[in-house]
Amino acid sequence: MNSQVKPKSLLDRAVWRKLGRLKELSETRIPDVSTLRRIKIIADLSENHLIALANELRLIEAEDKQLLIMAGSTEPSSLYVVEGRVSLTARDGKTKIVKVAGDQEMRPIAQLRPSIYDVEAVGPVTCIKIDGQKLVELAELSEDAINEISVHSLFSDGTEEDNSIVNHLYRNLMDNSIKLPELPSVADRVQKIYRGRDTDIEQLVHILVSYPDVTRKIKNVARCAKNDKLTEIEKIRYSVKHLGIRAVYCLIMTYAVGKLVRRLPVSHMQRVKSFWDHSLSVAALARILAKQTGLFSPDEAMLAGLVHGIGVLIIDDRLLEHRHLRLDHLEIDHAIQVMRPEISSLLLRKWDLDDEFIQVAEQCGNWSRAQAGSADLCDLVLIANYYAMLHGDRNHTLPPVSAIPAMEKLRIPPKQAIEAIKKSTEVKRNIKKLFV
């Protein structure tokens, strides 16, 4: 028996035909209660509620390369991977892999509709699909799900027109009417030749020679600007070797993002000033925490903090075009909250930044993030984001420190956290010097 209900719309019929039928593990195999408790928004439901839900579901198995969700799908169910790996491929062809172990929290895969990803199994995958409306009804019974309910409520059931701003923005994404900004030329050229440690230094120096504003800042960081014994090219070469290719790369990207923001029209900049100030605070705190822990490159942490929510710039621009919807500030805040991870991710992929930066953009607002293994860059920026919100706006509803797995991983003592917050103002000023 197939647990999915066949869609009625023409689009979803086409999607249905292309997806094919998922093979069930067996007619009687259903998820157990412990599996369902890995879904945060229903984790605190009673045993009886979860048993009743489990009896409505079937564990399903997808074979390698089987398409689970097609870009453009409006299918109302939520896909949860119980165990295995899936690939998410955006319309620009760039792919990310999501891996779920048997004991990890389960989060919906490519949840927003219409989907902007093709989702395929990478090897055998065990998963379940849960009707979106059913999740909303169950989440309303859950004490800890208030913030998640509104997200699920945004998804149209395909039978009624949805005029929410989120739906408008996603339609804009699907029809390519949202123009993602290009990197400034220096960053774009560097990105094309960047190969990590294998980057050709002479190629990099050759590019930088053409951008005196960038090289002046790099030389200042390397403290060789006043060395009159060296020619200009020798100073640049010395700076790159002294700082390291990765550090110079991060400085160039940081410079480029700052320049991109500073080029915004005054009216636009006034609207995103609060967001940009917060991003600078996160960048400063991430840099300080990276130095304190000694686990991460301060330059990488700074860049990751700066771009963690870069999609807000695009969302704000599009919101201006939807003035006819007469949105209040709560609707605007909600649209930003929902759309920021996806659009930030798309933008960073367009710029071809490393996966670790994309992961930060997608997950650093998920306080309950609990990846297996040691702390990663996303954990660090998540904590920096938390402290920046705590310090900058005490009206934010933030969970207690003890409820954040990343805090437990990095074990930053309260004294160090206070010290980082105190230092962040000065470090933020120094970061700004990279743009002016």
| pLDDT recorded at residue 166 | 64
Rg (CA), the chain: 23
Average pLDDT score, the chain: 81
Is 50 exceeded by the pLDDT of residue 24? no
| pLDDT recorded at residue 149 | 35
CB 121 within 8 A of CB 66: yes
Q: Rounded mean pLDDT of 121-145?
A: 78
Under the banding of pLDDT at 50, 70 and 90, the label for residue 154 is very low
CATH of 185-432, one of 3.30.2270.10, 1.10.3210.10, 1.20.210.10, 3.20.20.80: 1.10.3210.10
Class for the domain spanning 10-162: mainly beta
Written as six digits, the tokens of 407 are: 């805090």
Enumerate the H helices of 294-372 as residue ranges: 298-307, 312-321, 329-350, 355-363
Residues 6+ apart with CB under 8 A from 227: 235, 238
CB 81 within 8 A of CB 108: no
What pTM does this model have?
A: 0.69
| pLDDT recorded at residue 45 | 86
Rounded to the nearest 5°, which phi and psi values hold at 119?
-115, 120
Domains 10-162 and 185-432 share a fold: no
Is 50 exceeded by the pLDDT of residue 39? yes
Task: Name 150's bridge partners.
Answer: none
Is 50 exceeded by the pLDDT of residue 30? yes
Is 60 exceeded by the pLDDT of residue 435? yes
For the chain, domain boundaries: 10-162, 185-432
Under the banding of pLDDT at 50, 70 and 90, the label for residue 145 is very low
| pLDDT recorded at residue 160 | 34
Residues 6+ apart with CB under 8 A from 149: 41, 136, 139, 140
Under the banding of pLDDT at 50, 70 and 90, the label for residue 156 is very low
- Residue-wise pLDDT tens digits, 352-391: 999 999 999 988 888 888 887 899 999 999 999 999 988 8
Q: Rounded mean pLDDT of 397-419?
A: 88
| pLDDT recorded at residue 25 | 37
Under the banding of pLDDT at 50, 70 and 90, the label for residue 393 is low
Under the banding of pLDDT at 50, 70 and 90, the label for residue 158 is very low
Buried b (16+ CB within 10 A) or exposed e, 387-416: bbbebeeeeeeeeebeebbbbebbebeeee
